[in-house]
Amino acid sequence: MAFYPEDVDLSELSRVLATTITAPLDGYIEGKTVLRDRVERELDCSELEAEQIVDTLVARGFVYYDGNPKLPADEGVWRWRER
């Protein structure tokens, strides 16, 4: 079955992710990887498609990184925007 990323309801996906990911998403790469993997499982899509959807969630403001992703030892955390 074909997967069409443009058909994904980002608001609903964000709500599902926020309620199913209960552990803090610490660290830029580590947290983004958890997001990507969860999107991949939730939507039954490829890793690349999941990565693109996570990037879209960030670009549209559903989730953001509260920290400095350029610092390797940064202790930032991914957060959900209230909608």
Structure pTM? Answer: 0.88
Nearest to 80 by CA among 60, 72, 69, 70: 60
**Res 2: pLDDT:** 62
Say if 48 falls within a structural domain.
yes
Say if 17 falls within a structural domain.
no
**Res 82: pLDDT:** 73
- Its domain, for residue 80, covers 27-83
Q: Is 62 left (phi over 0), alpha (psi -120 to 50) or beta?
A: alpha
Segments in the chain below pLDDT 70 = 1-3, 73, 83
Say if 8 falls within a structural domain.
no
CB atoms within 10 A of CB 63: 19
Say if 6 falls within a structural domain.
no
Tokens matching residue 61? 């403001």
**Res 3: pLDDT:** 67
CATH number reported for the structural domain that contains residue 61 in this entry: 1.10.10
Q: At what angle do helices 47-59 and 10-20 cross, to 10 degrees?
A: 100
**Res 7: pLDDT:** 84
Number of domains in the chain: 1
**Res 62: pLDDT:** 96
**Res 23: pLDDT:** 87
